[in-house]
């Protein structure tokens, strides 16, 4: 019997931004393998369809909706579609996120607003839509994928991203306390330096333009920063999210699980 048997889970950002395994795709597949009926949310239909094919090939339950989690009507429609298909929502994983480099002097106001919207407002809107459902059921688990950038400076000038992820952590703590006696748990996973398709884009967008490093040098620097000696994988994030979403974590709420290979322990902040 799977650790999420009989549960319905919404996973936002359920696809990958390129070939390989991103956090959302790995979480969706892991949850499905553990018995959950998974409802994926994506803006990119091709990415969602790839996840659907992977899960369908294993005979597991998966459906997806295309929408924008920074838009309230879109979020409401997606959650309603999930309930229409599966009857309830037991787990929400707020997985969408995007980092843009810059400090207040160099970042445009538009980029700042976009960072807050995608990394923080999206979680607010998704929680707003599912919390009444979970409260009515008397149970629910919300796992938000934040970042070590929420609690440490980890090597990149990303003021907007760091502020938004820090906000996500504190948002989760406050709501966790408010909903503790209503049966709903909220926790965060804080990934460190991960080896995902998004990192390939970072190698292009950040490394070449901002530092002049080529891809291999950029990747090696990231490996070298981690005490374990290598970046993590999307499966590391997925397994942490699985634990926090499962009943094994029934006495855990309002906290953060670092998945960083010891990075934050070695970085002063």
Catalytic residue among 39, 161, 179, 251: 161
161 belongs to the catalytic site:
yes
Contact 51, 15 (CB under 8 A): yes
In degrees, rounded to 5, the angle at the alpha carbon of residue 59 between the alpha carbons of residues 55 and 60 is 60
Contact 60, 30 (CB under 8 A): no
45-57 and 23-33 helices, crossing angle to 10°: 30
3-state per-residue secondary structure call for 235-264: HHHHHHHHHHHCHHHCCCCCCEEEECCCHH
Three-state SS at 37: strand
Residue 146: CB atoms within 10 Å: 28
Q: What is d(CA 136, CA 193) in angstroms, rounded to the nearest whole number?
A: 38
What is the set of active-site residues? 161
């Amino acid at each position: 019997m799977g650790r999420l048997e009989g549960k319905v889970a919404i996973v936002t950002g359920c696809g990958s931004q390129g070939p390989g395994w991103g956090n959302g795709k790995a979480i969706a597949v892991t949850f499905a393998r553990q018995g959950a009926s998974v409802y994926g949310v994506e803006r990119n239909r091709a990415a969602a369809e790839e996840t659907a094919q992977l899960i369908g090939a294993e005979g597991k339950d998966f459906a997806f909706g295309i929408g924008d989690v920074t838009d309230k009507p879109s979020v409401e429609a997606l959650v309603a579609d999930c309930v229409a298909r599966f009857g309830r929502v037991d787990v929400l994983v707020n997985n969408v996120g995007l980092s843009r480099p810059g400090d207040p002097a160099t970042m445009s106001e538009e980029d700042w607003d976009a960072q807050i919207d995608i990394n923080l407002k999206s979680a607010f809107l998704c929680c707003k839509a599912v919390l009444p459902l979970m409260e009515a059921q008397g149970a629910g688990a919300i796992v938000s994928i934040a970042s070590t950038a929420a609690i440490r400076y980890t090597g990149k000038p990303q003021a907007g991203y760091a502020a938004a992820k820090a906000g996500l952590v504190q948002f989760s703590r406050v709501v966790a306390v408010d909903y503790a006696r209503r049966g709903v748990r909220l926790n965060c996973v804080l990934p460190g330096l991960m080896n995902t398709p998004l990192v390939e884009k970072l190698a292009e967008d950040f490394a070449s333009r901002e530092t002049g490093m080529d891809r291999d040098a950029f990747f090696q620097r990231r490996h070298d920063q981690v005490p374990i000696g290598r970046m993590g994988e999307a499966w590391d994030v997925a397994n942490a999210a699985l634990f926090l979403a499962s009943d094994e974590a029934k006495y855990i709420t309002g906290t953060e699980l670092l998945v960083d290979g010891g990075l934050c322990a070695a970085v002063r902040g």
